[in-house]
Amino acid sequence: TQLLEQSPQFLSIQEGENLTVYCNSSSVFSSLQWYRQEPGEGPVLLVTVVTGGEVKKLKRLTFQFGDARKDSSLHITAAQPGDTGLYLCAGHRWAGGTSYGKLTFGQGTILTVHP
């Protein structure tokens, strides 16, 4: 069972369109992060959200953390071909024992933006 469910799994859109990627869970997270990964490279951190209801903007990207800290969304406005990549959400949730410091990753959303 996936602790963090990302949707959609694939997204293929035209340049200039808007899109939203969702990251949902039944568990509460102390923090949640979004990463982007380009082919042949490691994931790169985009943002961290820690407060329920928090909204962060990074140019055309808007990130939101749900009020209950169980879900998050990534919205891209006027997508560009350079936005193409794999988007991963990841959350930190301390469940006791040795879970401290481990992140739970979603399965990822592959975004393709066509010129």
Partner 1 sequence: NAGVTQTPKFRILKIGQSMTLQCAQDMNHNYMYWYRQDPGMGLKLIYYSVGAGITDKGEVPNGYNVSRSTTEDFPLRLELAAPSQTSVYFCASSYEPTGFEQYFGPGTRLTVT
Under the rule (CB under 8 A), what is the footprint of partner 1?
Answer: 6, 30-31, 33, 35, 40-45, 48, 50, 86, 88, 90, 92, 98, 100-103, 105-108, 110
Give the residue among 28, 31, 29, 77 at the shortest CA–CA distance from 50: 31
Using the minimum distance from each CB to partner 1, give the nearer residue, 65 or 113: 65
Q: Compute the least distance from the CB of residue 36 to partner 1, in Å.
A: 11
**Which residues are paired to 105 by β-bridges?**
90
Give the nearest distance from C-beta 17 to partner 1 in angstroms. 22
Q: Which is nearer to partner 1, 43 or 66 (CB)?
A: 43
Name 80's Cβ contacts closer than 8 Å, sequence gap at least 6.
15, 60, 113
Q: Are 31 and 50 in contact, with CB atoms under 8 Å apart?
A: yes
